[in-house]
Structure 1
């Protein structure tokens, strides 16, 4: 079979002849890497483990978890795939309800947010592309949110997270991450 038009694949980055044994397996029953009263996060594929290609995280949010208020990223896209339960997703214009199997892609610079507004837990996959060192953000955001003000704003910006409330008038914009 012949094809009329060439496809635009990225340039090869692997130049070996026979491939390598380098896959990484993570069993489904692996414990979360981060747990809190609001939920847990599994570091499935980090910036470090993918060489910066992407970051993939399984996030379990408890009932009525605040999630993240509207914000954007300057260096990475973010995608959400709902595995179970319901998740309120802000698509830049309005809040929509995501259910199992629903997907939201947010290009670089796109406004977005999320929260679990139900009385039931939910689970989702979050994908960042290209990868970024998000683990420190996940691990310290609750602590930094309690500090608030300029310290919270600097922490967010260090992690490519620009919350709309940080641009509102008033001392530090306030609010949770």
Structure 2
């Protein structure tokens, strides 16, 4: 990561090779681009690649931040409130605070997502925990005590469970 200073202040430049890479056993990966401490809490950004049909995030909401998803490649299935929507390459989805959501790659396709959280939340530690869980080094229950810290509040959704039955999990 590089900070450059100009008339209006500092800019953050993250070169592809400098982004922290967190590989997932399913073949997917997180690329940690900018955490809120590096952006003055304006935003956090990561890139998430999911292998064919695999789950990305279980049902949850954020109380403090909106979440912006841009599909760089493939297609993702999203739970948005009580509805399932397919979001494809080039599509944008913005989820406001408090709206339940979940996502994963659609059956027969992988997906590559740019995810931006605004205002930013220090969430890189959360993604490292997800990687450890995906490798079998922890359980999803270990995330419960840190829901407030990372502004990820887990929810139950029968609609999502039915829609995603039998899919491999990224975490």
Please give the TM-score of this superposition, normalised by the length of structure 2.
0.76
In the alignment, which residue of structure 1 is the partner of 2:151?
A: 160
8 Å Cα contact 1:144-1:155 kept in structure 2: no
CA RMSD of aligned residues (A): 2.5
The equivalent residue for 2:139 is 147
Q: Which residue number in structure 2 is paired with residue 122 of structure 1?
A: 111
Greater radius of gyration (CA): 1
User: Where is the helix percentage greater, Structure 1 or Structure 2?
Assistant: 2
The TM-score normalised by the length of structure 1 is 0.73
By relative contact order (CA 8 Å, sep 6+), the higher-ranking structure is: 2
1:65-144 → structure 2 map (5 Å cutoff): 65-143=54-132
Structure 1 gaps of 5+ residues are: 1-17, 167-175
- Residue of structure 2 equivalent to 1:43: 32
C-alpha distance in 2 between matches for 1:31 and 1:161? 22
Q: Provide runs of 4+ in structure 1 moved above 4 Å.
A: 28-32
Q: By percentage of residues, which structure has more strand?
A: 2
Q: Does 1:25 align with 2:17?
A: no
Cα deviation, residue 128, structure 1: 0.5
Q: Is the 8 A contact 1:75 1:160 kept in 2?
A: yes
In structure 2, the gaps of 5 or more residues are: 1-5, 158-168
| 8 A contact 1:63–1:120 mirrored in 2 | yes
| Paired position in structure 2 for 1:34 | 22
